[in-house]
Amino acid sequence: MEEKTRFSILFRPTLVYAVLFTFCLYDNAKGILVAVLGLITVLYCNLIDRRQMHERKRDRLLYEIAFVLLALSCGLTDNDGIVFFNLVGMLFVLVVMLLHDHQDDDSWSIMKYLTEMVRTGVNAINGLSHFPNDIREENEQAESGRKKVTGYILIGLLIAMPMLAIILALLRSADVVFASVLNDMFESFDVTTSVLITLMMVFAFFFTYAGMRYFIRQSPVQPEGERKRYEPIIAITALSVISVVYLLFSGIQIAYLFIGNMTLPDGYTYAEYAREGFFQLLAVCALNLMIVLFVLAWFREHIVLKVLLSVISGCTYIMIASSAMRMVMYIREYNLTRKRILVLWALLVIGVLLAGVIVQIFKKDFRLFRYSLAVCVVCYLVLSFGRMDYWIARYDVDHCVTEHKDRGIQWFESTAEPDVPLDYLAELSCDAAPIIADYKGSWANDYRESIYDVQYDTLRQWNLSRYMARQALKKNGK
């Protein structure tokens, strides 16, 4: 049986995938069709594997589930930041999944994985230049009766695409019914839209082809060699100094913040002391995590070094607790915002990651990258599906309502606006609409106007958060 060429394996599935990719994702990063695209992508990767006779690893399903969940989240929220990082996360998980499935990565370190991901991107871009060679290889291998037919078909498709963009725009202006069908699929369809759709389809085809081409019958990456490691006395000296400072700082946190029975500097109240420094502590916690990983990667093992790394890790947990406590007290005083939620989330992620790093300090063969990937994916999925804007609005409104009820002001029974700065809530996404729809005030009116601007979605762009926002407005007669 004649071996299939890269072109014969990839061309037809990739062409179909590019069309579906464009239909699902064009002007539709927040639509439920992103979840459909996630499933299509998983099926496409499996189809390519079957066509090249590649046997997938059993744990690949976990990566596929994570990929589809990230895609699903895009259609459930209206938060721009979450949607952006969902898409970035999908690309990251997809590349890691393909690397894991096509390579023997059991002994790879975090640095090795990052290096291979960069190499994958470079080789994928470089693969664009091999497309003409793949066509020539396919034609040379084809049977005499079919020789060059595939190349001719491809040329015809490439010619048809820009022509199709112009023809669709002209037909839309010529027939109202046909225009209505196109507008049901796309919010507005004109010459510009047709050109952009065509360009997106072309880019999707070539970059998907080039990316998947890299994983077809590639040579296994050479196992990571034992890197040169430096004398541990260097790290012991440096970490000893740092550890003394961290121990002193940790002692102060325990005495001042956690117990609170020591005298503060003049001019400071306990509340003021607790409500500052959390961003700096977050940065130090992240820096400590990188320091420990760097030392583990570049210095030879030593019992004293392990003790010092453990001390720094323990102090980092005290810093995490200090920063979290300060942030919670700050939220109680100044309400909840996206940035404050993200700080608490980042502290949680660093804390869980640090637990894996501590394990590796004493267990060298611990698979830290897989542990870290699982932690980051799970924690991010919780954030992504958590609808943070809803909880921000709920906490801040409830908090301020409670305060003003104590002063005799009823927010929902009067058109009077309370003397509380809640204008920033008007910038929240549709996720917050079920809470804000009931509220009376100029900033709430601005928020509702912003919802009106996004409520006329096509069926292709259906989004759960926007649907719930519209229902909340209808329920309250807005």
**Per-residue 3-state assignment (H helix, E strand, C coil) for 61-88:** HHHHHHHHHHHHHHCCCCCHHHHHHHHH
| CB 131 within 8 Å of CB 216 | no
Question: How do residues 319-373 score in pLDDT, each as one tens digit?
Answer: 999 888 888 888 887 788 898 899 999 999 999 999 999 999 999 889 899 999 9
pLDDT band at 72 (very low <50, low <70, confident <90, very high): very high
Question: How do residues 293-304 score in pLDDT, each as one tens digit?
Answer: 888 888 888 899
Going by C-alpha positions, the residue among 27, 99, 101 that lies closest to residue 59 is 101
User: What is the pLDDT at residue 274?
Assistant: 57
Q: Is the pLDDT of residue 39 over 90?
A: yes
| CB 247 within 8 Å of CB 164 | no
User: What is the pLDDT at residue 348?
Assistant: 95
Going by C-alpha positions, the residue among 386, 448, 370 that lies closest to residue 59 is 370
| CB 392 within 8 Å of CB 372 | no
3-state secondary structure of 224: coil
User: What is the pLDDT at residue 431?
Assistant: 92
Lowest mean pLDDT of 39-48, 50-59, 272-281, 411-420, name the range.
411-420
- The percentage of the chain sitting over the pLDDT mark of 70, rounded to a whole number, equals 76
> What is the per-residue burial (b if ≥16 Cβ within 10 Å, else e) of 17-48?
bbebbbbbbbbbbbbbbbbbbbebbbebbebb
| CB 273 within 8 Å of CB 252 | no
User: What is the pLDDT at residue 446?
Assistant: 78
CB-based burial label for 363 (10 Å; 0-12, 13-18, 19+): exposed
Residue type, 37: L
User: What is the pLDDT at residue 453?
Assistant: 62
Sequence-separated (6 or more) residues with CB below 8 Å from residue 298: 227, 229, 230
* Total residues belonging to the chain: 478
User: What is the pLDDT at residue 331?
Assistant: 84
Q: Is the pLDDT of residue 472 over 50?
A: yes
Q: Which residue has the tokens 């609808």?
A: 387
Question: Average pLDDT of 43-68?
Answer: 92
Higher pLDDT, 207 or 277: 207
Question: How do residues 157-202 score in pLDDT, each as one tens digit?
Answer: 666 766 776 776 667 666 666 666 666 666 555 667 777 888 898 8
Q: Is the pLDDT of residue 66 over 70?
A: yes
Q: Is the pLDDT of residue 414 over 50?
A: no
Question: Average pLDDT of 251-276?
Answer: 66
Q: Is the pLDDT of residue 268 over 80?
A: no
Question: How do residues 432-460 score in pLDDT, each as one tens digit?
Answer: 988 888 777 677 777 887 776 665 567 78
Greatest mean pLDDT among 6-20, 136-150, 219-233 lies in: 6-20
Question: Average pLDDT of 371-398?
Answer: 93
Question: How do residues 364-376 score in pLDDT, each as one tens digit?
Answer: 889 899 999 999 9
Sequence-separated (6 or more) residues with CB below 8 Å from residue 84: 29
User: What is the pLDDT at residue 61?
Assistant: 94
User: What is the pLDDT at residue 7?
Assistant: 84
User: Looking at beta carbons, which pairs linking 331-334 to residues 24 or more positions away fall under 8 Å?
Assistant: 331/395, 333/271, 333/275, 334/275
Residue type, 183: N
User: What is the pLDDT at residue 263?
Assistant: 57
Lowest mean pLDDT of 152-161, 199-208, 289-298, name the range.
152-161
pLDDT band at 473 (very low <50, low <70, confident <90, very high): confident
Spatial separation of the C-alpha atoms in residues 100 and 111, rounded to whole Å: 15
Question: Average pLDDT of 143-154?
Answer: 55
pLDDT band at 417 (very low <50, low <70, confident <90, very high): very low
Lowest mean pLDDT of 79-83, 284-288, 296-300, name the range.
296-300
Question: Average pLDDT of 232-244?
Answer: 90
User: What is the pLDDT at residue 474?
Assistant: 78
Average pLDDT, the chain: 81
Q: Which residue has the tokens 């093992």?
A: 301
User: What is the pLDDT at residue 294?
Assistant: 87
Greatest mean pLDDT among 28-42, 49-63, 129-143, 435-449 lies in: 28-42
